[in-house]
Amino acid sequence: MLAKGIRLLIDARAEGRAVPAFTTYTLESTRAICEAAQNTGLPAIISAGASSFRGVGRAPLAAAALAAAAQASVAIGVHLDHSTNPGEIAACIALGYSSVMIDGSHLPFEDNVALTRAVVEHAHARGVWVEGELAGMTGDEDASSNALAGKLTDPDQAAEFVERTGVDALAAAVGTVHGFTTTPVHVDLDRLRAIAGAVGGPLVLHGASGLGDAELAAAVAAGVAKVNVNAELRRAYLDALRAELADGGDDVPHLQHHAVAAMTQIAEAKLTTLAGTAQPDNHPPQEVSR
């Protein structure tokens, strides 16, 4: 069922868990996300950023995600990630997205407030919840890199931002970066707790790729209610295809089956970890070459 409303994250935080937002680029990844959610009985979010639309187009990818969510036996949201374009946000809301992210973190604070507030007013009038961002994330959403953590979110400024914009969830910069990196990154848990105390509402963790289960659990306990997941699924998808192609496979449905199975396994593990139903692995982040 398509999950509408911020209650999805509010309930998760109240219950000491987080909802993973898995990035989709293809029908295979959309199917894997839904199968993992149904297999575990846990809610999830299908997420697509502007870059996800480059390969197959906005409307087709959205239609597949919305149809899959509607047919699922568990609550699944459909989210627009990291959009800087109010026009793109309005188009996705019109298509039926249940939530959107306006990323004004690259702007001066006052400009970010104005942009985010305008998107919030438009989205709320249509029953859609909004995620905003402060400070910004380094790295590449669509590829691994050697990025280092940049400027971190200030708790007092975060409280002002949420109050003035009316945003429903806040993506805070607390030490992580987008994509796998060769330099280990860690969550600044003290800062995260301070932001959670100042803001009061759900927080979102971007750039969690490579974090161990114990550190993810600590971030959830500190106030994170949504965790973005991209690199792990992307790697599983590509590794499955490479392995099958290396064995001489050229049957497309066979390749798709293996890709879906690989991504489903990863998504199930992430769902159970963020729900607190898996044992922490306590492994340090791995170095991953591109």
Q: Map the chain to HEC letters.
A: CECCCCHHHHHHHHCCCCEEEEECCCHHHHHHHHHHHHHHCCCEEEEEEHHHHHHHCHHHHHHHHHHHHHHCCCCEEEEEEEECCHHHHHHHHHHCCCEEEECCCCCCHHHHHHHHHHHHHHHHCCCCEEEEEECCCCEECCECCCCCCCCCCCHHHHHHHHHHHCCCEEEECCCCCECCCCCCCCCCHHHHHHHHHHHCCCEEECCCCCCCHHHHHHHHHCCEEEEEECHHHHHHHHHHHHHHHHCCCCCHHHHHHHHHHHHHHHHHHHHHHHCCCCCCCCCCCCCCCC
- Please report the pLDDT score of residue 175 as a whole number: 81
- Please report the pLDDT score of residue 181 as a whole number: 55
φ, ψ of residue 284 in degrees (nearest 5)? -70, 160
Q: How confident is the model at residue 49 (pLDDT cuts 50, 70, 90)?
A: confident
> Do the Cβ atoms of 182 and 218 come closer than 8 Å?
no
- Please report the pLDDT score of residue 247 as a whole number: 84
Mean pLDDT lowest for which of 86-95, 137-146, 196-205, 236-245? 137-146
The arithmetic mean of pLDDT across residues 85-95, rounded, is 97
- Please report the pLDDT score of residue 138 as a whole number: 45
Return d(Cα 157, Cα 214) in angstroms, integer: 28
- The answer, yes or no, to whether residue 144 has pLDDT greater than 90, is no
| Share of residues in the chain with pLDDT > 70 (%) | 88
- Please report the pLDDT score of residue 147 as a whole number: 34
Tens digit of each residue's pLDDT (9 = 90 or more) over 4-26:
999 999 999 999 999 999 999 99
- Please report the pLDDT score of residue 135 as a whole number: 77
- Please report the pLDDT score of residue 143 as a whole number: 45
- Please report the pLDDT score of residue 137 as a whole number: 54
What residues are annotated to the active site? 81
Tens digit of each residue's pLDDT (9 = 90 or more) over 270-281:
999 999 864 433
The arithmetic mean of pLDDT across residues 176-185, rounded, is 61
b/e string for 34-73 if b means 16 or more Cβ within 10 A? bbbbbebebbbbbbbbbebbeeeebeebbebbbebbeebe
- Please report the pLDDT score of residue 242 as a whole number: 94
Tens digit of each residue's pLDDT (9 = 90 or more) over 106-122:
899 999 999 999 999 99
Cβ-Cβ contacts under 8 Å for 44 (sequence gap 6 or more): 19, 20, 21, 22, 33, 34, 36, 37, 74, 76, 77, 267, 271
Mean pLDDT lowest for which of 55-59, 160-164, 260-264, 265-269? 55-59
The arithmetic mean of pLDDT across residues 248-272, rounded, is 93
Q: Give the chain's domains with CATH numbers.
A: 7-274 (3.20.20.70)
| Mean pLDDT, the chain, whole residue set | 87
The arithmetic mean of pLDDT across residues 197-226, rounded, is 90
Tens digit of each residue's pLDDT (9 = 90 or more) over 27-46:
999 999 999 999 999 999 99
Q: How confident is the model at residue 139 (pLDDT cuts 50, 70, 90)?
A: very low
